[in-house]
Structure 1
């Protein structure tokens, strides 16, 4: 079954719940601290000379609470409207526009949280409007109070600026993470496309080379040696069926994740490995190019990716001999050492005028990519005395030595 990601408990709480909770705590706490006189008595005790709040203050606090809850509910769908309501509720409950009154910085904490959320999650234009709304109200209040009483108002402005800076930093971090994720996804898609291209090339190119040789042999002897022609056609049929089966497995694996179900994806059968080299040699020899396989070192189990890559390199090198070299034989050397696997394919033929040269062609590119992915070494090129050489060294991890 595919794993389903679940968010941490705190991240599942919507932003509006946090702003509502913060506003209620900041408003109710003074009420519990001061007593039944109400929150406004505590907020405006300095401005009112210590007089207790009237019953009308409770109505104001109740109305402001309803406005704040409405703003919190709108914060996700209409963030600017929600922030505006939170600002109105905070201004109303503090009776802040009275001459000489103060804006308690904590009363605007819910609006600060809303500004942080908007800046972190919304486009830059929306974040700038939200910052201008809240900071503009607070800065305007700084100019309305006596200079000797601006400490709390300036503290409220400072908290709002800090909230905007934190939200901006979170927004930039999220954009950077999304960019890195997109780049990683693009690299993964490119790597998978290259892997599929290599598999298709190695699978189809070898088969088509064998089919071409066997078909040519059958055409030449079909009248004089019918039995040999039938054998060549049988080899063509076998190679074609095996390749078709491999293509079906690959296509089945590619189509599996697209069904959208939670069912366990079908596993591809293990790919060919060095155990298939002798069969590759016999098939190629039957097609007219003798392949001499020489083993050295200890033959042992290798990691699947090394085993399959080694076989594909040998297969592609032999295919190039069949298709591009005027050679009747080639030599495959496989050296299995404790820390590395060395492969060498030699032929003494002459390349066609338009054949592959060192570093050209999809086959050589695919072999080099396979070796690079395994952090090995690869070389391919003509020999001074004639012929062509392909060599690869694949390191073997310590865990399988």
Structure 2
């Protein structure tokens, strides 16, 4: 870091060139004697060459010394081209380093001082063409300094913008990864949890009934085999979906992901009843019209609630009520709980269910009271969703 700072604020080739120009302008034999610096006038004519190399660190000090040399030479009745050139170089540094507000103020003061000093040296002639050329040189130096600063600020702004864009892309990538993880977790839970529970329960039934009730054991093993095939097929579909990169432009996500709905309700209840859960279904007479997404979410609500009733409930019973309420479908699942003292903890299944219901604009409420766990969900109908 010190080396970088020295290279930026220390001497450069441009400093050598600036000093050389000031020295040349100080000793150059101009045709007009007013612009010649002889004898002691060489001291103020060459003095700016000492401070100009430090103009980047102390731009105002360099400008002040240069203007003082201009005034000192003017007091002797001469004009110092070298000091005026140093003023132009210093104005460049002020506008480049200190910004436009301070730079323009310093440039205005420098122009006024240069014009008045030249007029003093020329006996009141403020509009001498040769003297005005050096004034225009000062203005040009300030304009170039402002341009250099603007270009540097523009480059800095573009760099910061590129860095922010890069950070935004990284944040977006991390957000997408997190969303994909949550989606995969939900899909795995929806696809696997119930089937694994069915397999586990029926394997237990088969083990306990193998000697006493062989026909019951055979039924349980048949259910285990069917559930195993189902879960293997569903996992295969999920793996196919995860491996697809979409480069072929096909949109097979809807086909690969299980999208069951209330039309599969009878098969769902049959599976739970076959696993030993007694389900009492109560359906309203009014026809239900759900969007494809809402229909799938309604199926998942019943799936999750009955799975929890089967795994954590007491008595092996559950009551399901489905009815239309205004612009929504109201689902209610009630079952006795294994423990009356405390409600069951919110697991990944219920948490994922909340997210899915919220995604279709619905609402869900669940809780345990008096040894009974209830889950209620409201899912907007297709007409309400479209409006």
Report the TM-score range of the alignment, normalised by the length of the smaller protein. Answer: 0.5 to 0.7
CA contact (8 A) 1:198 1:366 kept: yes
| Counterpart-to-counterpart distance in 2, 1:399 and 1:257 | 31
| Counterpart-to-counterpart distance in 1, 2:258 and 2:196 | 22
- Report the secondary structure of 2:284's partner residue: strand
Equivalent in 140, 153, 158 of residue 165 of structure 1? 153
| Counterpart-to-counterpart distance in 2, 1:365 and 1:351 | 21
Equivalent in 376, 381, 395 of residue 367 of structure 2? 381
Aligned match of 2:335 = 347
CA contact (8 A) 1:345 1:390 kept: yes
CA contact (8 A) 1:376 1:392 kept: yes
| Counterpart-to-counterpart distance in 2, 1:315 and 1:352 | 23
CA RMSD of aligned residues (A): 3.6
- Report the secondary structure of 1:294's partner residue: strand
Q: Equivalent residues in 2 for 1:6-85 (5 A)?
A: none
CA contact (8 A) 1:324 1:352 kept: no
CA pair 389-193 structure 1, distance change in 2 beyond 3 A = same
**1:305 partnered with 2:290:** no
CA pair 175-340 structure 1, distance change in 2 beyond 3 A = farther
**1:208 partnered with 2:193:** no
CA pair 364-218 structure 1, distance change in 2 beyond 3 A = same
How far is 1:161 from its partner? Answer: 1.5
**1:257 partnered with 2:245:** yes
**1:153 partnered with 2:138:** no
How far is 1:279 from its partner? Answer: 0.9
CA contact (8 A) 2:288 2:329 kept: no
- Report the secondary structure of 1:326's partner residue: coil
- Report the secondary structure of 2:260's partner residue: coil
**1:366 partnered with 2:352:** yes
Aligned match of 1:393 = 378
- Report the secondary structure of 2:338's partner residue: coil
| Counterpart-to-counterpart distance in 2, 1:159 and 1:338 | 68
- Report the secondary structure of 1:378's partner residue: strand
How far is 1:274 from its partner? Answer: 1.8
CA contact (8 A) 2:288 2:381 kept: no
| Counterpart-to-counterpart distance in 1, 2:385 and 2:305 | 29
**Runs of at least 5 residues in structure 2 that lack an aligned partner in the other structure:** 1-80, 86-95, 98-106, 111-132
| Counterpart-to-counterpart distance in 1, 2:172 and 2:324 | 35
How far is 1:308 from its partner? Answer: 1.9
CA pair 295-177 structure 1, distance change in 2 beyond 3 A = farther
| Counterpart-to-counterpart distance in 1, 2:348 and 2:318 | 21
**Runs of at least 5 residues in structure 1 that lack an aligned partner in the other structure:** 1-97, 102-130, 133-141
| Counterpart-to-counterpart distance in 2, 1:287 and 1:315 | 14
Aligned match of 1:89 = none
CA contact (8 A) 2:320 2:333 kept: yes
| Counterpart-to-counterpart distance in 1, 2:343 and 2:261 | 27
Aligned match of 2:184 = 196
| Counterpart-to-counterpart distance in 2, 1:206 and 1:195 | 17
CA contact (8 A) 2:314 2:335 kept: no
Equivalent in 234, 256, 265 of residue 246 of structure 1? 234
**1:283 partnered with 2:271:** yes
CA contact (8 A) 1:257 1:265 kept: no
Write the deviation string for residues 310-330 of structure 1: whole angstroms up to 9, x where unpaired: 212211111111111122210
CA contact (8 A) 1:346 1:389 kept: yes
Aligned match of 2:24 = none
Write the deviation string for residues 93-121 of structure 1: whole angstroms up to 9, x where unpaired: xxxxx9889xxxxxxxxxxxxxxxxxxxx
How far is 1:348 from its partner? Answer: 2.5
Equivalent in 211, 214, 217 of residue 223 of structure 1? 211
TM-score in terms of structure 2 length? 0.60
Aligned match of 2:29 = none
| Counterpart-to-counterpart distance in 1, 2:150 and 2:212 | 93
Aligned match of 1:110 = none
Q: Equivalent residues in 2 for 1:306-325 (5 A)?
A: 306-325=294-313
Q: Return the index of the structure with the highest Cα Rg.
A: 2
CA pair 328-309 structure 1, distance change in 2 beyond 3 A = same
- Report the secondary structure of 1:167's partner residue: helix
CA pair 164-298 structure 1, distance change in 2 beyond 3 A = farther
**1:294 partnered with 2:276:** no
